[in-house]
Amino acid sequence: MTTLKGPGIFLAQFLGDQPPFNTLKAICLWAESLGFKGVQIPTWDPRCIDLQKAAESKTYADEVRGTVEECGLSITELSTHLQGQLVAVHPAYNELFDGFAPESVRGNANARTEWAVQQLKYAAQASRNLGLNAHATFSGSLLWHTVYPWPQRPAGLVETGFRELGRRWKPILDVFEENGVDLCYEIHPGEDLHDGISYEMFLKEVDNHARACLLYDPSHFVLQCLDYLDYIDIYHERIRMFHVKDAEFNPTGRQGVYGGYQSWINRAGRFRSLGDGQVDFGSVFSKLAAYDYKGWAVMEWECCLKHPEDGAKEGAIFIQDHIIRVTEKAFDDFAGTGSDENFNKKILGIQ
């Protein structure tokens, strides 16, 4: 068993134009003052990091890490959620997702995909230069518009989609292998990897690649009515990252999982600040500790009601209170009588 590292905080939702949220050093000092011990860095925001430079220059990577460590923190992981989304985009979403890419490739789907793939490769190299062993991303999606089977899906459509998704990601996974870093997909609605079954279909297409791992976030499973504790039992060997995020699902006679096109505040399923939702984090932390999860517990703040700064302040305490310092001895050791092989045989009546 292993004591989880943390609390960490994903910086993406907190970065802004005003101090202390507008520079890496300032936001790290703010996070440390709240009790966080690590920061997960979004690589699409130049206020935090120049991803290409971190991939190509160990000196620069050391400077970034030094900035964080001077604030009393560690870098937990890097994130390429936005770039990973662009590895696979169905044309129906071109305009909506173009904003994730630089202006130079907008309106050009092929160029945008090439840019995204290169970003992921930079992320593998940058993670290595920073001394990290796990990385967060999204899978992107070619099939999400068919998630509900109406109109009826043509035979072979799903297989073709996952085959193409695997073709795009396999070379990226190989680069992560070369750099000794696990690529952790956040299983998330809107991605082709949105539950356990879809993840297993993807694994088949990338030959069960050892680096095709998981970022576990129970909030997304609450909103899908998926058993998020059983998920840990099934996939714990692949879970290498953990987003601590809460959610609630309160269906009514008017709406359920799909939400009726409502805003977050009016949906049956809503993300909430830690402790305000329905996730059984006591059981989640217990299972991860028992399964020897060696990574960080990182707060990802998303809430339709609470102010983010309050969510962060409360979240640091919430995670710290849920981290289990695992025991090094059995609770009943005091009653042990000692044994050896001969004694054991005697008890069993073995000659």
Distance (Å) of CA 83 to CA 40, 162, 163: 16, 19, 20
**Tokens coding 295:** 């990574």
Peptide bond into 19 cis (omega under 30): no
Distance (Å) of CA 143 to CA 112, 146, 168, 208, 333: 18, 6, 14, 21, 54
Q: Which helix (H) or strand (E) holds 301?
A: none
User: Is a pLDDT exceeding 80 seen at residue 329?
Assistant: no
Give CA–CA dist 223/245, Å, rounded. 12
Average pLDDT over residues 157-172: 98
| Cβ atoms within 10 Å of 314's Cβ, excluding its own | 18
Mind listing the pLDDT tens digit for each residue in 17-31?
A: 999 999 999 999 999
**pLDDT at res. 327:** 84
DSSP secondary structure string for all residues of 180-200: T-EEEEEP-TTSS--SHHHHH
> 3-state class of 209 per DSSP?
coil
Give me the residue spans of the domains in the chain. Answer: 5-348
Nearest in space to 250 (alpha carbons), one of 264, 269, 266, 265: 269
Residue 331 phi, psi (nearest 5):
-65, -20
Average pLDDT over residues 68-89: 98
| Cβ atoms within 10 Å of 191's Cβ, excluding its own | 26
Nearest in space to 86 (alpha carbons), one of 97, 75, 95: 97
Task: Please report which confidence band the pLDDT of residue 202 belongs to, taking 50, 70 and 90 as the band edges.
Answer: very high
Task: Please report which confidence band the pLDDT of residue 285 belongs to, taking 50, 70 and 90 as the band edges.
Answer: very high
Percentage of residues of the chain with pLDDT beyond 90: 93
* 5-348: CATH class: alpha beta
Give CA–CA dist 183/193, Å, rounded. 13
Average pLDDT over residues 203-218: 98
The tokens 């079954």 sit on which residue? 197
Give CA–CA dist 336/108, Å, rounded. 70
Nearest in space to 271 (alpha carbons), one of 326, 219, 194: 219
User: Is a pLDDT exceeding 80 seen at residue 312?
Assistant: yes
**Tokens coding 131:** 């001394």
Average pLDDT over residues 84-104: 97
pTM here? Answer: 0.95
**pLDDT at res. 343:** 85
Task: Please report which confidence band the pLDDT of residue 335 belongs to, taking 50, 70 and 90 as the band edges.
Answer: low
Q: Are 169 and 199 in contact (CB under 8 A)?
A: no
130 versus 341: the higher-pLDDT residue is 130
**pLDDT at res. 330:** 72
Pairing verdict, β 246-249 and 269-272: antiparallel
